[in-house]
């Protein structure tokens, strides 16, 4: 049991795939010192359940559906940590992208692990962050340092995110309340900074590096 208080570590698991969150819950519940208190299927659910249960640790997926107010797991993490700094968040994701690591840490997460990590490493990670430590995949940490921060401005990121959803240049510009010419200029600037030969390539590069939500 928890040596400090002799009570279980209270955990919430947030993942939009039911089979994954339920499998993780079953696995973690085998540990006598860890108690899964709630399961969340979306970013908004995670924020609400964190307020309701005030867990010690949250395992948070990155790419989960939002509710119109919270768009993904990283934004959910920022909201939770801002409201309740004592909650420790581990980002647990399929997407081992260095840019996600940087964004997660900026949001207040104290851990970042990929879903194919061994089970004993995940459980150890929960215990470690609860003890006040950080848990970060070492390969991702090295890659994140080598890649650095996004070269895109906030506006370029916004336009590129709109481009990722598809549509004409006019539609993309309208989605972010810009004229068609201004939208085209931001797209061109983003492509140039990323060394991309097309809009689709720019979206792929930015996504792979975690620079798009």
Per-residue pLDDT reduced to its tens digit, 61-77: 988 876 667 888 999 99
CATH number, domain containing residue 44: 3.40.50.2300
Which residue has 């995670």 as its token pair?
46
pLDDT at 53 over 60: yes
- Predicted pLDDT at 61: 92
pLDDT at 13 over 90: yes
Are 112 and 143 a contacting pair, CB within 8 Å? no
Q: 113 forms bridges with which residues in the sheet? A: 92
Q: Is residue 1 part of a domain?
A: no
- Predicted pLDDT at 104: 86
- Predicted pLDDT at 67: 66
Per-residue pLDDT reduced to its tens digit, 19-49: 999 999 999 999 999 999 999 999 999 999 9
Task: Determine the structural domain holding residue 196 and report its residue range.
Answer: 154-208
* Pair (96, 196) in one structural domain: no
- Predicted pLDDT at 2: 44
Q: Output the pTM of the full model.
A: 0.74
Rounded to whole angstroms, the Cα distance separating 145 from 138 reads 11
């Amino acid at each position: 049991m928890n040596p400090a208080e002799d009570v279980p570590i209270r955990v919430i698991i947030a993942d939009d795939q039911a089979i994954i969150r339920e499998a993780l819950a079953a696995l973690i519940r085998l540990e006598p010192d860890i108690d899964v208190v709630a399961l969340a299927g979306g970013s908004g659910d995670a924020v609400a359940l964190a307020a309701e249960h005030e867990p010690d640790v949250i395992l948070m997926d990155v790419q989960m559906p939002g509710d119109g107010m919270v768009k993904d797991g990283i934004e959910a993490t920022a909201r939770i940590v801002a409201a309740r700094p004592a909650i420790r968040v581990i980002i647990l994701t399929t997407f081992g992208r260095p840019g996600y690591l940087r964004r997660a840490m900026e949001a207040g997460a104290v851990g970042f692990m990929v879903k194919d990590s061994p089970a004993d490493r995940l459980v150890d990670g929960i215990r470690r962050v609860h003890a006040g430590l950080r848990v970060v995949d070492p390969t991702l940490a090295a890659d994140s340092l080598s890649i650095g921060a996004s070269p895109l401005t906030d506006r370029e990121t916004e336009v590129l995110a709109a481009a990722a959803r598809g549509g004409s240049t006019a539609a993309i510009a309208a989605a972010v309340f810009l004229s068609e010419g201004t939208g085209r200029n931001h797209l061109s600037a983003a492509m140039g900074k990323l060394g991309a030969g097309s809009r689709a390539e720019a979206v792929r590069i930015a996504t792979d590096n975690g620079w798009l939500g």
